[in-house]
Amino acid sequence: MADGLTYRVLIDGEKFLLTAFLNGQKAGWMEGDFSDDIPLITLNHTYTDDQFRGQGVASGMYAYLIKLCANNGYKLKPVCSFVQGMLNKNPEDKKYLL
C-alpha cells in the first residue's frame, strides 16, 4: 500500500463511493450500491487513475473497504473483478460476503 493514502466514504441513499487520495490528489475510487436493510455494499467498479497505477492505490482501497465492513457490520457483494480477485487472495475476508 502506498504511503500518504487517505480515504473518503460517501453513502448517499442507495449509492456507495469510496475515494482514495494520494498526497492530496484524487487517485482512485470504488463505487457501488448500498442497502440499509442488511447493510450491504454491492461493489460494482474499482478505478485507479493512470498516473497512480502500480502504487498500491487499489489495494489500499480494498483494505479500507474490508475495515469498513469489519467496523460497521457491513456485508459485501463484489461484482467488481478486482475485489473478487482480492477476496480469492485473502480468503479470511470472505466472512464479509453476503
Q: pLDDT tens digit string along 37-83?
A: 999 999 999 999 999 999 999 999 999 999 999 999 999 999 999 99
CATH architecture of 5-96: 3-Layer(aba) Sandwich (3.40)
Per 3-state DSSP, the chain is made up of helix, strand and coil in percentages (nearest 5) of 35, 40, 25
Radius of gyration, CA atoms only, the chain: 13
Q: Where are the domains of the chain?
A: 5-96
User: pTM value?
Assistant: 0.94
52 phi-psi bin (left φ>0, alpha ψ -120 to 50, beta other): alpha
What pLDDT band is residue 3 in, cutting at 50, 70 and 90? confident
Report whether 57 contacts 20 (CB < 8 A). yes
Provide the percentage of residues in the chain whose pLDDT is more than 70. Answer: 98
> C-alpha distances in angstroms, 1 versus 15, 40, 70, 85?
26, 25, 19, 17
Check residue 94 and give its pLDDT.
97
